[in-house]
Amino acid sequence: MSRRTLALGAFLHPSGHHVAAWRHPAARADAGIDIRNYIRLARLAEAARFDLVFLADQIAVPSDNLDYVSRTTRATYFEPLTLISALAAATQRIGVIATVSTSFNSPYNLARYFASLDQISGGRAGWNLVTSGSRLEGENFGLGEDYYSHAGRYRQALEFAEVVRGLWDSFEEDAVLDDRAAGRYLDAAKVHAIEHRGAHYQVRGPLSVPRSPQGQPVLVQAGSSEAGRDLAARAAELVFTAQTSLAQAQAFYADVKARARAYGRAAEDIHILPGVFPVVGRTQAEADEKFRLLQDLVPPEVGREYLSIHLGGVDLSAHADDDPVPEIAVDGRGHVSRPLLLLQKARERNLTIRELYLEIAGARGHWQLVGTPETIADALQDWFENGGADGFNIMPPSPTGLDDFVALVLPELRRRGLAREDYTARTLRGNLGLRVPQNRFAQSPAPEKPEREKEAT
């Protein structure tokens, strides 16, 4: 039996995840709107045998403070589903995951988009299911600040996911006959309307796209609140999360896996991938200098607004940079888990406003590692082998951050037997070791042969 290896995602941001990465000497002015930049990064990740590339999204500029927006590149990047389709055509083996919100889309259209992408990519697509929680997003669709409560958004999202997955089962695996002599292209008995009637959606179906080589696109979820964990346990196959200590990671990992088992799922049906922001140097001094260069590029006005956004839009104007982070109530209308995580960090370490905005300038509350290939590999191995993660979503800090991770950290992980040498399958599911979902309409069970083995030829 082969040794378990890390699942690895490359979380792409045009110039890097640090808020000031666009000011880095190696950054390109057009990084967010030049497809060649993204193709280079995706192909780099594929050559390194990452499982997937991942793109986040927000359906609005990040702030109505346009002075702040003008000092970042956070408003100049492609819509992710369009972009990920181009990356699918430019790669052959790596999975492609796009973030699309349930709040301003219809289940039928979304099911069709991702089923099409899954066919185009040969079974490499994944959908990162999110809900939209910002006032600015609501206003872009004619809704006010209270357009959805946190709990309401997640109830809607759960039903949305149920409809989408039902539509992805519209075609049984052998529904396409292509019987030219008899004049029958489809077996009508193996194409199904779902006839969904729920609290939020009424969808008849069937979908107009046949089942893909991996059965369904991989379903991803990135919320860590109570409602987010429950949605992940019910529906997700990959979970992206923000944890900053092994104890936090272990608690989250155990909780989500236990919830999944309570819903009748196997623990291995859901993989947990915390985000990691790695600044890598051949020596610790080199890593520290790389990080200091980025931190020195953060203007106070950018840092304060960036912190305000990640605390849910709280007004910090009455407080100086050297003041302690004030008491803030998280009211549940917007995003919940990230503000709570940052406030916990501030309380535990008695951070000032400046210290906290510099703390999140790169990792945004994710796990931040600044070190050598050996020390970073040590940390990743510790979480992986001690119930904190099934793998990691790597967040390159700068324009050359992914190059550094691939050139310096991956060889050390491979030396330890923690990273694959080559792909083992043709599909995203196969490489992740996830089973092909049983089609709910199929009359007989699918063969027990795992998808990883089927696609390895």
Q: Contact 430/455 with Cβ under 8 angstroms?
A: yes
Instruction: Decide: helix, strand or coil at residue 448.
Output: coil
- What does the pLDDT look like over 254-292, one tens digit per residue? 999 999 999 999 999 999 999 999 999 999 999 999 999
Rg (CA), the chain: 22
d(CA 15, CA 72): 11
Are the CB atoms for 425 and 451 separated by under 8 Å? yes
Q: Which amino acid is at 269?
A: D
**Confidence band, pLDDT 50/70/90 cuts, at residue 450:** very low
pLDDT for res 310: 85
CB-hemisphere CA count at 13 Å for 84?
A: 31
- The Cβ-side half-sphere exposure at 87, using a 13 Å CA radius, reads 34
CA dist 416 and 341 (Å) reads: 32
Query: What's residue 150's pLDDT?
Result: 78
User: Which residues face 394 on adjacent strands?
Assistant: 10, 276
pLDDT of 431 above 50:
yes
pLDDT cut 90: percent of the chain above it: 74
Average pLDDT, rounded, for the chain: 91
Q: Which amino acid, 405?
A: F
The pLDDT assigned to 351 comes to 87
Over residues 412-426, the pLDDT tens digits come to 999 999 999 999 999
Task: Say whether domain 7-285+364-454 belongs to CATH 3.20.20.30.
Answer: yes
Q: What is the pLDDT of residue 153?
A: 87
Q: How far is CA 88 from CA 122, 123, 422, in A?
A: 9, 10, 19
Distance, CA of 24 to chain centre: 25
Fill in the amino acid letter for 162.
E
Q: Render 47-80 in DSSP notation, one character per residue.
A: HTT-SEEEE---SS-S-S-HHHHTTSSTT----H
Model pLDDT for residues 342-397, shown as the tens digit of each residue: 888 888 888 899 988 999 899 998 999 999 999 999 999 999 999 999 999 999 99
Span 17-23, mean pLDDT?
96
Taking only the tens place, the pLDDT of each residue in 163-201 is: 999 999 999 999 999 999 999 999 999 999 999 999 999
CA 314 distance to own-chain centroid: 25
Alpha helices in 263-336 (DSSP H): 284-295, 300-310
Where do we find the tokens 């609290």? Answer: 199
User: Per residue in 131-174, pLDDT tens?
Assistant: 987 888 888 988 876 666 778 888 999 999 999 999 999 999 99
User: Are β-strands 391-394 and 7-11 bridged in parallel, bridged antiparallel, or unpaired?
Assistant: parallel
> Percentage helix, strand, coil, to 5, in the chain?
40, 15, 45
Q: What is the pLDDT of residue 457?
A: 36
What is the pLDDT at residue 288? Answer: 98
Residue with tokens 């070190």: 371
| pLDDT beyond 50 at 34 | yes
Tokens of 246: 């092994």
Cα 200 from Cα 164, distance rounded (Å): 13
Rounded mean pLDDT, 45-65: 94
Pairing of strands 391-394, 52-55: unpaired
Residue 168 CA: distances (Å) to CA of 150, 157, 191, 204 = 27, 16, 11, 13
pLDDT value of position 331? 59
Query: DSSP labels for 229-273?
Result: HHHHHHH-SEEEE---SHHHHHHHHHHHHHHHHHTT--GGGSEEE
Question: Could you give the dihedral angle defined by the CA atoms of residues 83, 88, 219 and 278, in that order, rounded to the nearest 10 degrees?
Answer: -70
